[in-house]
Amino acid sequence: MNTEVDNLEMYKKILVAVDFSENSHKAVLKAKNMANRCGADIELIHVVEIPTYPILEDIAVMGMPGIWDEEIGRTLIEVSNKKLQSLAQQFDISDYRTIEGLPSSDIVKYAEQRQSDLIVMGTHGASGLKALIGSTANSVINHAKCDVLAVKL
């Protein structure tokens, strides 16, 4: 009995979290190959983090919520949708979605809502901040209720 194939057969819904970096392209390719081998459905997700700006500096220090520019938010979502649609077409994936939120927590929440069996993502994103590299993947790995495959570059 081939254990690798047996393990793949348990995946029916694969969620691929992308940030449009080179790592996320590799994650999509890996997920697509796995989905083809085990007959799983695959969905792409990108989480747009809408920037907030404190109204006054002292309010921000007190932990009060900031404000965000709706036009900036709409623009970020539109750009993300176009990039995600292009990536989905490139890999012949029909199910994809952009959501607003915090990637480290909302990927996990979305996977639970969609009853995903596996989350696939790159090990670090396009942020470029060395101190934060891998923080989203690490958070997803530690909080997801399903399996997580972190694809290295």
Residue 78 is part of a domain; what is its CATH number?
Answer: 3.40.50.620
Q: Is residue 1 part of a domain?
A: no
Give the full edge-to-edge strand order of the sheet including 147-151.
Answer: 96-100, 41-48, 13-17, 118-122, 147-151
As for how many domains the chain has, the answer is: 1
- Domain assignment present for 2: no
N-to-C CA span, the chain? 31
Whether the Cβ atoms of residue 89 and residue 28 lie closer than 8 Å to each other: no
**Banded model confidence at residue 134, pLDDT cuts 50, 70, 90:** low
DSSP code of 67?
A: B
In a domain, 110, yes or no: yes
**Residue 128 domain flag:** yes
- pTM beyond 0.85, yes or no: no
pLDDT at site 7: 58
pLDDT digits (tens, 9 = 90+) for 26-65: 999 999 999 999 899 999 999 998 766 555 554 555 455 5
- Find the domain containing 87 and state its range: 9-151
**Cα–Cα distance list, 151 to 6, 46, 60, 77, 97 (Å):** 21, 16, 37, 25, 21
- Domain membership of residue 117 (yes or no) is yes
Decide if 29 is inside a domain: yes
Predicted pLDDT at 153: 72
- What is the arithmetic mean of pLDDT over 73-78? 87
Residue 50 lies in a domain: yes
User: Rounded to an integer, what distance in angstroms lies between the CA atom of residue 93 and that of residue 86?
Assistant: 10
Report strand pairing: 96-100 vs 147-151. Answer: unpaired
In a domain, 3, yes or no: no
Residue 39 tokens read as 């007959």
- Looking at residue 84, its pLDDT comes to 96
The half-sphere exposure of 37 on its side-chain side, counting CA atoms within 13 A, is 14
The model's pLDDT over 78-123, given as tens digits with 9 standing for 90+, comes to 999 999 999 999 999 999 999 999 998 999 999 999 999 999 998 8
pLDDT range class, residue 125, cuts 50, 70, 90: very low
Give me the pLDDT at residue 136, please.
Answer: 87
